[in-house]
Structure 1
């Protein structure tokens, strides 16, 4: 199964401000996001990694406490120690990750809504090689890597979360503008995946720059 990265144009600071906001109306509003039902569905994902998204939202909005970051709590008679992550459940990083995806959907713009997103693989590599040959300096492959973008417990598997800096978005966009896109090949029913990827990269970065927003991606 291919890994796909879902991009959002959204303010990183605005998403971070959700943590510990203690805003009940915000919690209810986030549940109106287009992607909420999909990722809150009990049948979503691996049966071994089930979670209650409403509970995860409540943790982020009401239970998050940055003063607990890095502390350890002792268990029964001090025999066991468990790492605390700012008041969040230590082994639920993946659940908070998907919850943040929905939060980004609510607070920002879900880019590439007509497709699943950017797929890892041969066509992606070919498109990136074209960008690099035209002067791209940014490591665009980090879109499929896991980074500490938000203050949540570590994610062992998916989703992999990344946020491109303004400088990186500018670099990607400027280079993408120098590449002549075959619009017909990119938009045709039997479209050329490489041309579609190059066009999507250009459009996603342009949307972010025009709106002054960050580019946050979730790969799974």
Structure 2
């Protein structure tokens, strides 16, 4: 998943680093040349030096081909402009803004930001859940936020519809707990098929769930 991050401070840096470790492709926009050099020297990613509130800078970062825009500068008004620009001009599907003043969260959402986050610790986890597909819903966070119980609604166009669990790739740190089909609960076995409109509940570490979402091509379903 390609994600654009505007803001190369501690939050932006560690978010980019974590996304890289999870197999994503972050692109960073930062207007401080010294910080751009620092990030470019430390991480294997594209760094665009410029003001992310300007369309030409976002165009240089190829924002139009990003699945998400994440604005984590220290100014709420800049984060709002960044997200509005990405969505309205470059048609980015999901926008996430760091909110430095929690009182601004409702305002940012009202003005078009999809997700306004005042706490930054779980940004990576939140982005993966919200951007990969709207069919994924976290039911319960576990183990200090490192694992979760998650429901996946198998959407139309699912490439593996009709396959059994034994035929699908399921990471070792992920377990399919249940399947609900037409209102009926199914306790899954290896020969249980996955069908469109099934609600599949998965218990997994966050990294394992991301692997499962990739192997099941959930991010590619439109």
| Fold shared by both chains (TM-score > 0.5) | no
User: Greater share of strand residues, 1 or 2?
Assistant: 2
TM-score (norm 2): 0.29
Greater RCO (Cα-Cα under 8 Å, separation 6 or more): 1
User: Greater share of helix residues, 1 or 2?
Assistant: 1
